[in-house]
Structure 1
Amino acid sequence: MSIEIGSVVEGKVTGIKSFGAFVELEEGKTGLVHISQVSHTFINDINDVLKVGDVVTVKVLNVEESGKISLSIKETQPKPEGSDRPRRGGGRNNAKGGNKGGGRKGGAATTTVHSDASSEPFNTMADQLKEWAKKAGMA
């Protein structure tokens, strides 16, 4: 049986690094569960959650032609209650609507952020900078 994207299978943790866990699947293939895909909650040290030899249920997220297999334990578990609420503080957007830099590498994202002084959304970083300069008396 080949490993297909979206399938849920069992595997055995064969190695742990600070960035994730290596899981041996059927046919001797090994995939990686990135630390962000271990749990719905923040994990500071993966060793607190997983140990070599643990049998885990994983969902196959991606299989590259090179053979690299991306896995998720988190996707096999129900989301905890209240996990759809916006984050405060160190999350992607703080309580005042400013971006804390949670974007992805490799591409620009369009983010709509509302200012406290205006009900108009910012559509670009240039718009946001103009608004901040205006508030600071620089424009």
Structure 2
Amino acid sequence: MAKIYRVGDILTGKVTGIQPYGVFIALDEQTQGLVHISEITYGYVKNIDDYVKVGDYIRVKVSHIDRDTGKISLSIRALKKAPARRRKYYRSTKTLQERVNERDEIGFHSLAEKLDEWIEQSGFKNGD
């Protein structure tokens, strides 16, 4: 008689086969489950052989059981601590003007304020 498994069970099984899409795990003499490649670890897995070998005993968690087909989906990743999330970018809470004021050492003058100075420097006078 085959053992009854439930979603959430944590088990130790033996790796019986490796395919490009995942790892087959024998849970007992009559029951086998599959760890999909995306459930091996966090991040991208290029080569499953870098993580497990046929004959290894590994801990897995039952993540899904298809009652119609009897297929058992397993996860190694679910038993690992998730890596810390990295911030992709820093978004300032300050307005653009506040950031300009902070970084401007010599003072910011608008174009209108500088225009008279530039006209004078160019030698052009009104009415000429």
Normalising by structure 1, report the TM-score: 0.57
Structure 1 or 2, whichever has the larger Rg, is 2
CA distance in 2, matches of 1:85, 1:30: 36
CA distance in 1, matches of 2:43, 2:30: 30
Which residue matches 1:85? Answer: 86
CA distance in 2, matches of 1:54, 1:41: 22
CA distance in 2, matches of 1:27, 1:77: 26
CA distance in 1, matches of 2:23, 2:54: 9
| CA shift for structure 1 position 78 | 1.2
Count of aligned pairs: 86
Output one character per residue of 1:5-38: Cα deviation in whole Å (capped at 9) or x when no partner. 0111010000000000000002520000001000
RMSD value, Cα: 1.6
After superposing on structure 2, the runs of 4+ consecutive aligned residues of structure 1 that deviate more than 4 Å are none
Question: Is 1:33 matched with 2:62?
Answer: no
Amino-acid identity (%): 41
Match for 2:4: what amino acid? S
CA distance in 2, matches of 1:8, 1:72: 9
Q: Which residues of 2 match residues 1-139 of structure 1 at below 5 A?
A: 1-65=3-67, 66-80=69-83, 82=84, 84-85=85-86
Normalising by structure 2, report the TM-score: 0.62
CA distance in 2, matches of 1:5, 1:49: 24
CA distance in 2, matches of 1:34, 1:4: 18
Instruction: Indicate the structure with greater helix content.
Output: 2
Q: Which has the higher contact order (CA 8 A, sep 6+)?
A: 2
Which residue matches 2:96? Answer: none
Match for 1:62: what amino acid? H
**What secondary structure is seen at the aligned counterpart in 1 of 2:4?**
coil
CA distance in 2, matches of 1:26, 1:41: 29
Which residue matches 1:135? Answer: none
Match for 2:23: what amino acid? A
